[in-house]
């Protein structure tokens, strides 16, 4: 098992049973749960298995369970002879602690020769029917490697914070390619249409040939679970990020 840990504030310690893939896709608990829904669906569709987790200390946590079996709230999935590892984070990490979590992830990726990170996410911005698409905010090397021949437009301007900002910033200062794939989300949770757009974009980028049409049924099966997770995020003490300045 590989492990890293720091002592300032909340600590995040990564444990992984085998060497991870060169590509990491992350799904975090955030607005509309679109990125998280997409990541969960990819894990299910690709029949990936849990290969690791992130232990969290000194931060209010949750312990999800399925069929009576408890699970870590932040898990890593992969399988043999597959180039992608998927991180699923059902634990909401406040924006103020995004730097700590990103530092652990980046230290782990550097040690294990992970070449790039893709982050699917939803953003709560006003939009019309023409806005129902996926945009990118990505480091230059990620753009050249993955987006040159893609019909994915760049997000115009704005700012990021929390874990997304920290990962992008670190990618700008290293050889790690980082791409944030964002799509507008509505108030309902999960925003299935937004998650479908993210899955389709990831499938095209990595040539995975994923059928996203069953995702609506998949989300319906876990709707109560997602609704309870969303309810936790709506509590007054939760420090929601302000990823709102997109144009």
pLDDT at 1: 47
% pLDDT > 90, the chain: 41
Does residue 63 come out as left (phi exceeding 0), alpha (psi in the -120 to 50 range) or beta? beta
pLDDT at residue 8 tops 50 = yes
For the stretch 112-167, pLDDT in tens is: 999 999 999 998 876 666 668 999 999 999 999 999 999 999 988 888 888 898 89
Structural element, H or E, at residue 54: strand 49-57
For the whole model, what pTM was predicted? Answer: 0.84
pLDDT at residue 65 tops 80 = no
Query: What DSSP assignment string belongs to 139-208?
Result: -HHHIIIIITT---PBP-SB---HHHHHHHHHHHTSS-EEEEEEEE--SSSS-HHHHHHHHHHHHHHHT-
- Give the domain 11-233 fold: Rossmann fold (3.40.50)
Segment 15-22 mean pLDDT: 86
pLDDT at 222: 64
When pLDDT is cut at 50, 70 and 90, the band that residue 93 belongs to is confident
136 phi/psi in degrees, rounded to 5: -125, 150
pLDDT at 132: 82
What are the residue boundaries of the structural domains of the chain, listed by start?
A: 11-233
* Cα three-residue angle 21-39-186, rounded to 5 degrees: 150
Pairs from 123-129 (Cβ < 8 Å, separation ≥ 24): 123/31, 123/182, 123/183, 123/184, 123/185, 123/243, 123/244, 123/246, 124/31, 124/32, 124/184, 124/185, 124/187, 124/243, 124/244, 125/184, 125/244, 125/246, 127/184
pLDDT at 247: 42
More confident residue, 11 or 46: 46
When pLDDT is cut at 50, 70 and 90, the band that residue 230 belongs to is low
pLDDT at 121: 94
pLDDT at residue 241 tops 60 = no
């Amino acid at each position: 098992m590989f492990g890293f840990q720091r002592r300032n504030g909340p600590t995040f310690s990564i444990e992984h049973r085998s060497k991870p893939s060169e590509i990491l896709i992350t799904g975090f608990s955030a607005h509309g749960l679109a990125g998280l829904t997409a990541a969960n669906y990819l894990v299910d569709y690709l029949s990936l298995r849990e290969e690791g987790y992130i232990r969290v200390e000194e931060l209010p946590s949750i312990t999800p369970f399925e069929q009576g079996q408890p699970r870590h709230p932040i898990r890593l999935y992969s399988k043999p002879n597959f180039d992608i590892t998927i991180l699923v984070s059902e634990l909401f990490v406040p924006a103020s602690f995004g730097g700590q979590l990103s530092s652990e992830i980046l230290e782990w990726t550097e040690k294990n020769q992970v070449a790039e990170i893709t982050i699917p996410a939803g953003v709560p911005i006003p939009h019309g029917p023409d806005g129902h698409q996926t945009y990118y905010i990505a480091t230059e090397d990620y753009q050249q490697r993955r987006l040159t021949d893609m019909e994915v437009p760049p997000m115009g301007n704005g700012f990021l914070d929390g874990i997304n900002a920290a990962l992008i910033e670190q990618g700008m200062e290293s050889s790690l390619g980082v791409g944030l794939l964002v799509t507008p989300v509505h108030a309902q949770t999960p925003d299935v249409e937004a998650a479908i757009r993210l899955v389709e974009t990831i499938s095209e980028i990595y040539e995975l040939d994923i059928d996203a049409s069953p995702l609506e049924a998949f989300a319906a099966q876990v709707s109560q679970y997602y609704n309870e997770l969303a309810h936790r995020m709506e509590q007054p003490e939760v420090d929601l990020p302000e990823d709102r300045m997109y144009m």
